[in-house]
Structure 1
C-alpha cells in the first residue's frame, strides 16, 4: 500500500489559515453561546446541536439541563423536550439523530425538531408530543449491521404542518 503524505501535507498547508480562522471562530461562538446554556457544558464541536437547544430554550422560555437526562430543555410548565437539529437542505435533513430510548421512565414529553439553513439561521421548528410520535409509530429502529443501535424519527414537512411552531419569513 502506498501513502501520499506529501500531498496530505500540502493540503494541510493550503488550508492551515482557514482552519485556524475556523477554529478561533468556533471557540468564540462557543464562549458566547455558553452565556445562554444555563451552565450546561457545550461539549465537542456540535454547533448545530448547541444552536437547536438554545433556540428551543429561548422559544419555549425554558432552561437547559445536563446530559444525564433524556431531554435537553425543561419549561416551568413541566415540558421536557428532546431537541434534534439539522442544517441544510441535502437529502437526509429530515431524519433526526439518534434517539436512545423511546419508552419508559424519563422519556421526554416532547420532541423539538429544528431545521437550520446553511447560515445557521432557523428555517423551521416542529414540536411533537412524544406520546403522539409513539402511538403513530414514528420512531424507527436504527440497525447497524443487523444490530439495534438506537431510534430515529423523520419530519414530513408536508404532513406535519400541525406540529410546526415556527417558519422563517421569506
Structure 2
C-alpha cells in the first residue's frame, strides 16, 4: 500500500491556521465556562456537554456536582438532574447518550435534555420527571453485539410539549 503523506501534509497546512484559531477559541471558552462550573472539573473536550450542564444549572438555580454522582445538577429543593445535550438537527439529535441505570438507590429525580443549534445556542430544553419516564416506559435498552450496555431515551418534540421548559424565539 502506498501512502500519500505529501498530500496529507498539504491539507493539514491548509487548515492549520483555522485549527489554531479553533483551538485558541475553545481554550478561551473553556476558561470562561470554568468560572460557572462550581469547581467541577470540565474533562476532555466536551463543549456541548459542558454547555448543557451549565445552562441547566443556571436555569434551575442549582449547582454542578462531581462525576461520582449519577446526575450533574442539584438544587437546594432536592432535585437531582442528569443533563443530556445534543447539538444540531441531524438524525439522532433526539436520542440521549448513555444512561447507566434507571432504577434503584440514588436515581435522579429529573432528566434535562438540552438541544443546541449549530451555533451552540440553546434551541429547546425539556425537563422530565424521572418517574414519568419510568411509568411511560421511555427508557430503552442499548444493546451492543447482543449485550446490554446502558439505557437511553428519546425526546419526541411533538408529543413532549408538556415537558418543554424553554424554546428560543428565533
Task: Give TM-score scaled by structure 2 length.
Answer: 0.97
Partner SS state of residue 15, structure 1? helix
RMSD: 0.8
Distance 1:3 1:140 in 2: 44
Distance 1:152 1:158 in 2: 19
Distance 2:149 2:15 in 1: 36
Show structure 1 runs of 5+ residues with no match: none
1:2 is displaced (CA, Å) by: 3.0
Distance 2:160 2:93 in 1: 15
- In the TM superposition, what whole-angstrom CA distance separates every residue of 1:39-94 from its partner, at most 9, and x where no partner exists? 00111110000000000000000000000000000000000000000011111110
Matches within 5 A, 1:36-115: 36-115=36-115
1:12 is displaced (CA, Å) by: 1.2
Q: Which runs of 4+ in 1 moved over 3 A?
A: none
The corresponding residue for 1:152 is 152
The corresponding residue for 2:163 is 163
The corresponding residue for 2:32 is 32
The corresponding residue for 2:6 is 6
Show structure 2 runs of 5+ residues with no match: none
The corresponding residue for 1:117 is 117
Partner SS state of residue 69, structure 1? coil
Q: What is the number of residues matched between the two proteins?
A: 170
Distance 2:20 2:144 in 1: 35
